[in-house]
């Protein structure tokens, strides 16, 4: 069964450093997402991406964050200058199209980001 | 705005007990409803979904019925197993945008 994959599984970085989290969505999906889950809290939407552009973003997704689909298979989340509060589990998700709009979202296993 | 409220955990049950995890939602329009499960050390897996009122989603012995009149989507299982121990998230997908809104999650412990 096709699945979303994410690398690395755990990333440790120093405050102020740039990090890039990588995701390979399910191959025929068209919609891509990032969510995050701070330890012990709920999963929060960050951004959605369709047709090579951001379709929606949350208040969390400020100028320090960016997303990119650099080739036909990868979808990346970049944090330009990490802060302690960026420590969280980051989930990538993808969905296909159902009746003209995005279908069910399937999630990857997550990347645990630890900012020291 | 849209929101999801689910019962606080942790919930501790003995094996073969009946499980209910309550979930209610607030939404405009006609959302899709989901239950996701997160096993220890793993990511989010879609457990079941329902896309319209009175639909019943089911998978692995779990069921949930989309109740528009009570704005609820309670998760049930007739006989839980130790392997069901996980965190369960009720979630809502709006038909106006693509983001999913999650509840806070309910941790379930099943004792042998």
pLDDT in tens, B21-75: 999 999 988 889 999 999 987 888 999 999 889 999 999 999 999 999 999 999 9
Distance CA A98, CA A86 (A): 33
| 3-state DSSP of chain A | CCCCEEECCEEEECCCCCEEEEEECCCCCCEEEEEEECCCCCEEEEEEEECCEEEEECCCCCCCEEEECCCCCCEEEEECCCCHHHCEEEEEEEECEECCEECCCEECCCEEEEEC
pLDDT at A99: 57
Residue whose entry in the numeric block shows the structure tokens 């979808």:
A75
Of A46, A42, A76, the C-alpha closest to A61 is: A46
Distance CA A30, CA B83 (A): 33
Q: Are A25 and A107 in contact (CB under 8 A)?
A: no
Restricting to B residues 7-36, those with a Cβ less than 8 Å away from any Cβ of A are 32, 34, 36
Residues of chain A with C-beta less than 8 angstroms from the C-beta of B97: 48, 55-56
Q: Are B13 and B107 in contact (CB under 8 A)?
A: no
Residues in chain B: 112
Residues of chain B with C-beta less than 8 angstroms from the C-beta of A43: 44, 89, 91, 100, 102, 105
Residues of chain A with C-beta less than 8 angstroms from the C-beta of B43: 6, 91, 107-110
Q: What's the distance, Cα to Cα, between the start and end of chain B in Å? A: 41
Tell me which H or E stretch contains B110. Answer: strand B106-111
The residue of chain A with its CA nearest to that of B47 is A106
Q: Are B87 and B107 in contact (CB under 8 A)?
A: yes
Tell me which H or E stretch contains B101. Answer: strand B100-102
pLDDT at A98: 63
- Is A106 part of the contact surface with chain B (CB cutoff 8 Å)? yes
Residues of chain A with C-beta less than 8 angstroms from the C-beta of B32: 104
pLDDT in tens, A64-73: 999 999 887 8
pLDDT in tens, B70-106: 999 999 999 999 999 999 999 998 766 778 999 999 9
Q: Are B55 and B66 in contact (CB under 8 A)?
A: yes
**Residue from A44, A91, A104, A112 whose CB has the most chain B CBs within 10 Å, to mutate:** A104
Q: What is the percentage of chain B residues whose pLDDT exceeds 90?
A: 79
């Amino acid at each position: 069964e096709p699945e979303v994959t994410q690398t690395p599984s755990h990333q440790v970085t120093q405050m102020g450093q740039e990090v890039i989290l990588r995701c390979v969505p399910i191959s025929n999906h068209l919609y891509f997402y990032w969510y995050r889950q701070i330890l012990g809290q709920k999963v929060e939407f960050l951004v959605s991406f369709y047709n090579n552009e951001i379709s929606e973003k949350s208040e969390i997704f400020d100028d320090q964050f960016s997303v990119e689909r650099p080739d036909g298979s990868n979808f990346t989340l970049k944090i330009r200058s990490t802060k302690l509060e960026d420590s969280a589990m980051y989930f990538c998700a993808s969905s296909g199209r159902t009746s003209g709009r995005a279908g069910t979202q399937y999630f990857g296993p997550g990347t645990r980001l630890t900012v020291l | 705005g849209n929101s999801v409220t689910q019962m606080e955990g942790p919930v501790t049950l003995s094996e073969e007990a009946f499980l209910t995890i309550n979930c209610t939602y607030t939404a405009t329009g006609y959302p899709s409803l989901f239950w996701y499960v997160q096993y220890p050390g793993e990511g989010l897996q879609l457990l079941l979904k329902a896309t319209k009122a009175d639909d019943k989603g089911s998978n692995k012995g779990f069921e949930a019925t989309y109740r528009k009149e009570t704005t609820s989507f309670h998760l049930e299982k007739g006989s839980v197993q130790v392997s069901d121990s996980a965190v369960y998230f009720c979630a809502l997908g709006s038909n106006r945008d693509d983001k999913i809104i999650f509840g806070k999650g309910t941790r379930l412990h099943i004792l042998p």
